[in-house]
Amino acid sequence: MGKMKLRNDFEMLRDHCIIIRRDFNTYNDLFFSGFDDLLTKAASTFFNDIAEIMQRDWVLQVCKLMDSAITKRDGKVLENISIKLINSQLVNEGLMSKEISSISDSILAYGKNIIPARHKRLAHFDREHQICGIVLGATTEKELEDFLENIQKYCDAVGRAVGLGPLDFAGSSCSGDVHDLLKVLRNYYSHIKC
């Protein structure tokens, strides 16, 4: 039961990491690939709203990876699908390695930078931080790149440890994605005079 539960829990965590990476890719493809004028012509307020919504959701989804292994609520112990839960199961099954431990430490260190944004701005409407305008959750581009690389490395290392193998999820293009939206907008605005 232990190894099967670990595999199942890990698959849920890896699926969540895939969503995090997909959302990051979509955000970057939409807002940082040179289509600013096109988005402004099409619906500037809408795309500003979408950017804000995507940023907030990304912080929330990333912070889920950093949650404790368990939460106690109303006398019940609830497990959180998180790095800490997977790591505790790896230890219990004798599958924890120095590589996995080191990578997860880096992921959790990144989380320490952004968790205050979830706690003070997103999950709760902390008055002091709203009034003072304190920047919460800021990271460098390098820290962000390292985080994305580390969730891939973590998932690959744990995947190998539990017998599932690695799974590259750095790319996420598919039919009906942001590239198709941009193609439609580009085509539309190339045929009309603005």
Domain borders along the chain are 2-188
**Is pLDDT at 194 greater than 60 in this prediction?**
no
d(CA 82, CA 68): 7
pLDDT at res. 56: 87
Give percent of the chain above pLDDT 90: 57
Tell me the three state secondary structure of residue 79. strand
When mean pLDDT is compared over 34-48, 106-120, 134-148, the highest value belongs to: 34-48
* pLDDT averaged over every residue in the chain: 88
More confident residue, 150 or 36: 150
- Tell me: the pLDDT tens digits for 107-135? 999 998 887 766 556 555 656 655 665 55
Backbone φ/ψ region at 134: left (φ over 0), alpha (ψ -120 to 50), beta: beta
Choose the weakest-confidence range: 2-11, 50-59, 62-71. Answer: 50-59
Q: What is the pLDDT of residue 2?
A: 87
Compare 88 and 182 and report the one with higher pLDDT: 88
What's the predicted TM-score (pTM) here?
0.87
On the question of pLDDT at 137 being above 70, the answer is no
What amino acid is encoded at 117 in this protein?
A
Q: Residues 6 or more apart from 125 whose CB is under 8 A from it?
A: none
Residue type at 54 in one-letter notation:
M
Q: What is the largest CA-CA distance in the chain?
A: 65
CB 177, CB 183: distance < 8 Å:
no
Instruction: Compute the distance between CA of residue 157 and CA of residue 166 in angstroms, rounded to an integer.
Output: 7
| Residues 63-106: tens digit of each pLDDT | 999 999 999 999 999 999 999 999 999 999 999 999 999 999 99
Contact 81, 16 (CB under 8 A): yes
Res 136: pLDDT:
52
Which residue has tokens 């505790």? 88
Higher pLDDT, 14 or 131: 14
* Partners of residue 120 on adjacent β-strands: none
pLDDT in tens, 151-162: 999 999 999 999
Cα–Cα distance for residue pair 27/56, rounded to 1 Å: 12
**Residue 73: beta bridge partners?**
76
